[in-house]
């Protein structure tokens, strides 16, 4: 009997992840009123399993939003481990713009959750500031990015890019604007440290 809880916890964790992924897609594509049964079916679970994890629609919306934000913010460390800091910053910006596009698709669902008293945005700014701070500090330490930029200034710049390029056909323009933003972050940097 003691061997069952481990696999059940792993199954429950996988179910939760599948539910959250299906919820983000469904809210983004079909809006706030998508039936919960549709999300459960898309996740490959029963409605009872979905409700066991998320007892209300608002709880599901809040968890989906936070999960996506955490995924984007947590990617900063991986990107830095695999790329030079300026390249990691640019790749992270792409991921964040894609996240913002999905969030815009979830806007009605998020508004409904907030109206019901949920706060899906609690701690969002802290996570965003920490992720961008990590990328900026690594870039400044390597001499590749300016050291005088506040993380939230970059976050607000990214939000602005997202606002004017939210349509899928504007994604190429978003990339060009992100390149300009990165050039601004490089301007005045100390330059790569020499190993001499």
Residues 12 and 15: their CA atoms lie apart, in Å, by 5
8 Å CB contact between 73 and 95: no
pLDDT score for 25: 87
Total domains in the fold of the chain: 1
Range of the domain at 101: 57-186
Residues 122 and 66: their CA atoms lie apart, in Å, by 9
Residues 35 and 27: their CA atoms lie apart, in Å, by 10
Q: Which residues contact 83 (CB under 8 A, 6 or more apart)?
A: 91
Q: Which residues contact 50 (CB under 8 A, 6 or more apart)?
A: 19, 36, 39, 40, 43, 60
8 Å CB contact between 118 and 100: no
137 in any annotated domain: yes
pLDDT score for 170: 87
Token duo for residue 49:
């399993």
8 Å CB contact between 105 and 156: no
97 in any annotated domain: yes
96 in any annotated domain: yes
39 in any annotated domain: no
Per-residue pLDDT of the chain (196 residues; tens, 9 = 90+): 444 334 447 888 899 999 999 998 888 788 778 899 999 999 999 999 999 999 988 889 888 888 888 999 999 999 999 999 999 999 999 999 888 877 776 766 777 777 777 676 667 888 999 999 999 999 999 999 999 999 999 999 998 898 888 777 888 999 999 999 999 999 988 887 654 4
pLDDT score for 194: 53
Residues 5 and 9: their CA atoms lie apart, in Å, by 6
3 in any annotated domain: no
pLDDT score for 190: 85
50 in any annotated domain: no
63 in any annotated domain: yes
27 in any annotated domain: no
pLDDT score for 195: 46
**CA–CA distances in Å: residue 136 to residues 124, 146, 179:** 18, 8, 15
CATH number of 70's domain: 1.10.357.10
Residues 16 and 67: their CA atoms lie apart, in Å, by 11
């Amino acid at each position: 009997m003691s061997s069952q809880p481990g696999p059940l916890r792993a199954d429950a964790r996988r179910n939760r992840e599948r539910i959250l992924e299906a919820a983000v897609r469904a809210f983004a594509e079909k809006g706030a009123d998508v039936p919960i049964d549709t999300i459960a079916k898309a996740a490959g679970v029963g409605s009872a399993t979905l409700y066991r994890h998320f007892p209300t629609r608002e709880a599901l919306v809040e968890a989906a939003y936070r999960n996506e934000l955490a995924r984007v913010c947590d990617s900063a460390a991986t990107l830095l481990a695999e790329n030079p800091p300026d390249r990691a910053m640019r790749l992270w910006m792409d991921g964040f713009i894609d996240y913002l596009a999905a969030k815009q698709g979830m806007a009605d669902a998020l508004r409904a959750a907030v109206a019901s008293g949920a706060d899906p945005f609690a701690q969002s700014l802290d996570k965003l500031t920490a992720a961008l701070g990590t990328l900026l500090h690594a870039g400044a330490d390597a001499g590749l990015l300016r050291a005088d930029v506040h993380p939230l200034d970059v976050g607000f710049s990214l939000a602005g890019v997202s606002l004017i390029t939210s349509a899928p056909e504007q994604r190429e323009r978003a990339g060009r604007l992100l390149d300009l933003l990165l050039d601004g972050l490089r301007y005045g940097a100390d330059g790569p440290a020499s190993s001499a």
